[in-house]
Amino acid sequence: MNPSWPVALVDGDVVLRPIKARDQRAWREVNRRNREWLRPWEATIPPAPPGAPVVQRPTYRQMVRHLRAEANAGRMLPFVIEYQGRLVGQLTVAGITWGSMCSGHVGYWVDRDVAGRGVMPTAVALAVDHCFRLVGMHRVEVCIRPENGPSRRVVEKLGFREEGTRPRYLHIDGAWRDHLVFALTAEEVPEGLLYRWHQARPGTPHK
């Protein structure tokens, strides 16, 4: 098993912990309530080529089995986000590559009811610090559609660098969509990304 998995990461009311099969009911409830809010930003499956089998979206249990298998292989870190003891979203560090790259990319979504409370920047900061300090990664990316203002504000608050555009990068909401690339390397946050977020956020006790 990957020695950096499983692990729970905590900062105040925000907890990142490994996704579990028993989270199904809470996960489905949050996802269902936020369906229309999340739909423009969620990955979709492109049409199958002629003669190829149609690929179906996985069930929740199939998704969790895949995520945990990838985690055990060291290629992914899949978390759920809890806020004040309630499941409110999901964050995954995926595409983890070792060797001369030591990189991965972060994807996330959160319940609209808690958006704007600092939950997602805190969760991303926790994940990035974990990747740099314990997992041993050197670079973390976040790829965001230009139109996704709330998600862009998360990385802007945390001080990610904008590196440019990847045209037609991912199949989102039924079509291939351009994405902006934001990134950080370990050298850019020697004190930790969570510390930087605390320093930048008014009214947050510094640690």
What average pLDDT does this structure show over 157-166?
97
Tell me the per-residue pLDDT of 27-55, one tens digit each, with 9 for 90 and over: 999 999 999 999 999 999 888 788 778 77
* pLDDT for the residue numbered 87: 98
* pLDDT for the residue numbered 91: 98
Tell me the per-residue pLDDT of 107-117, one tens digit each, with 9 for 90 and over: 999 999 999 99
Cβ neighbour number for residue 51 with a 10 Å cutoff: 5
Asked whether the predicted pLDDT for residue 206 surpasses 70, the reply is no
C-alpha separations of 113 from 87, 117, 133, 168 in Å = 12, 9, 31, 30
* pLDDT for the residue numbered 133: 95
What is the rounded distance in angstroms from the CA atom of residue 133 to the CA atom of residue 111?
28
Q: Is the pTM of this model over 0.95?
A: no
What is the rounded distance in angstroms from the CA atom of residue 47 to the CA atom of residue 189?
41
Return the SS3 of 176. strand
